[in-house]
Amino acid sequence: MSAQCCAGQLACCCGNAGCSFCCGCCPKIRQSRSTRFMYALYFILVVILCCIMMSNTVANEMRERIPFFEDICKGIKAGDTCEKLVGYSAVYRVCFGMACFFFIFCLLTLKVNNSKSCRAYIHNGFWFFKLLLLGAMCSGAFFIPDQETFLNAWRYVGAIGGFLFIGIQLLLIVEFAHKWNKNWTAGTATNKLWYACLSLVTLIMYSIATGGLILMAVFYTQKDGCMENKILLGVNGGLCLLISVVAISPCVQDRQPHSGLLQSGLISCYVTYLTFSALSSKPVEVVLDEHGKNVTICVPDFGQDLYRDKNLVAGLGTSLLCACILYSCLTSTTRSSSDALQGRYGAPELEVARCCFCFSSGGEDTEEQQNVKEGPRVIYDEKKSTVYTYSYFHFVFFLASLYVMMTITNWFNYESANIESFFSGSWSIFWVKMASCWICVLLYLGTLIAPLCRPSPQFSV
């Protein structure tokens, strides 16, 4: 058994086999999932490295605790205090290497439909060599000549890629809303209890959206002043009302009978969340009171206590950021999500209503999968064809690399950025989140109005 494990690990690291995870206590895993897990692991490792590079605390600890630190920095030509290995410029270089890594694999896997082709084997194996390649590309970015020109140009490329990734995230939210409503509505044909489920969930979501807007009006506005916050809350609240009215309007219902308040309720909740996130990311406004003391306005009184332990907040926030990015990357590369992003939806009559509609209803294994008793813990579920689009998978991770680069370096306030002050607020992050909120509303309205302008099956939801 140990010989089989060693052979499996060797094939995983240096061959064209999928990663076998041959530990006997581990559950079996599909090859398509194990491959995506390995790429996600590489992505997480680079993100952690970027966070370390943006941390003043880590830089100070290294300077104090590593013997002959300055001599080492001079020896590797990283500056007197290794200033070339920290800060936004270092993150730009490392993310450039990671983005190139995923872009190269995107080109290598174009139009790969057969899992037994040579390029498919490269995608699903050789993990040790891929790790070496990723490390070499991230390190090689530090030797690019004319660094100033490179950083200035790469900054705009990162901004474009970051906004594209945000667009994919928003499209996934809209697709998720339509999929949810379509799936549960399909169940009403056989069981009227699905109507009760739809009504209950819709009521809960509208309650959350309304309650969130009211709480933000209480804590983020004041009787005198805070006019900007009042306007933004009023505009976003009006947009939530607008999409709700459009979703149930007779003209939309005539073209899309499966459109309803469930989708608009979910989008309203997401708009409320983005509004709260944007207001929380807004720089603190300080004014003088009647006694000549500095006081903060337009923020909750308890807001400063939330940021008392900066290391804890930075750690939790970075973990949440990675989780959201990985969810968007892995979710957007499934076959159904890829079709939805291209405007193709399945027929409603083929839906089988399930509470956990996000997961595949096909829990059955093939005969080959059921007969796997011993040996590698991988189920080769791509023997006939690929389960997902390889090139699109790598392209999404390419955009995610640019999004991480821009987010960690505080978008366009990069010169003063560090991971400890990541959640202290900046105007760039504030406007990015507010723009995301409005784009999400426009995308959802587009899915409702487009069939009225050009009736076509691909817009049916």
pLDDT at 422: 58
pLDDT at 132: 93
pLDDT at 1: 44
Q: Does 417 fall in a domain?
A: yes
Choice between 379 and 376, residue whose per-residue pLDDT is larger: 379
Q: Does 33 fall in a domain?
A: yes
Choice between 25 and 295, residue whose per-residue pLDDT is larger: 295
My answer on whether 148 and 228 are in the same domain is: no
pLDDT at 144: 82
Tokens of 454: 């050009």
My answer on whether 429 and 419 are in the same domain is: no
My answer on whether 105 and 210 are in the same domain is: no
Residue 286 lies in domain: 192-307+424-461
pLDDT at 245: 92
My answer on whether 228 and 79 are in the same domain is: no
Q: Taking residues 285-312, report their average pLDDT.
A: 59
Q: Does 352 fall in a domain?
A: yes
Q: Does 320 fall in a domain?
A: no
Choice between 359 and 445, residue whose per-residue pLDDT is larger: 445
Out of 141-145, 321-325, 454-458, which region has the weakest mean confidence (pLDDT)? 454-458
pLDDT at 203: 93
My answer on whether 21 and 109 are in the same domain is: yes
My answer on whether 84 and 156 are in the same domain is: yes
pLDDT at 50: 86
Q: Taking residues 256-260, report their average pLDDT.
A: 76
Q: Does 187 fall in a domain?
A: no
My answer on whether 227 and 288 are in the same domain is: yes
Residue percentage of the chain with pLDDT more than 90: 13
Q: Does 328 fall in a domain?
A: no
Instruction: Determine the distance from the C-alpha atom of residue 108 to the mean position of all C-alpha atoms in its chain, rounded to a whole number.
Output: 24
My answer on whether 53 and 138 are in the same domain is: yes
pLDDT at 383: 67
349 pLDDT tier (thresholds 50, 70, 90):
very low
My answer on whether 157 and 219 are in the same domain is: no
Out of 27-31, 137-141, 165-169, which region has the weakest mean confidence (pLDDT)? 27-31
pLDDT at 97: 93
My answer on whether 11 and 158 are in the same domain is: yes
Q: Does 336 fall in a domain?
A: no
Q: Is the per-residue pLDDT at 101 higher than 90? A: yes
Tokens of 104: 């190269």
Distance CA 357, CA 348 (A): 13
Out of 154-168, 257-271, 282-296, which region has the weakest mean confidence (pLDDT)? 282-296
C-alpha angle 308/208/170, rounded to 5°? 85
How far is residue 165 from each of residues 44, 150, 323, 435, measured CA to CA in Å? 17, 22, 15, 13
Tokens of 144: 């690019």
My answer on whether 160 and 224 are in the same domain is: no
| Domain tally, the chain | 2
Q: Taking residues 274-295, report their average pLDDT.
A: 73
Residue percentage of the chain with pLDDT more than 70: 65
288 bridge partner residues: 294
My answer on whether 253 and 373 are in the same domain is: no
Distance CA 198, CA 204 (A): 10
Q: What is the pLDDT of residues 181-233, one digit of tens each?
A: 887 777 777 777 878 888 898 999 999 999 999 998 888 888 777 788 889 99
How far is residue 200 from each of residues 195, 205, 206, measured CA to CA in Å? 9, 9, 10
pLDDT at 209: 93
Q: Taking residues 21-50, report their average pLDDT.
A: 75
Q: Does 459 fall in a domain?
A: yes
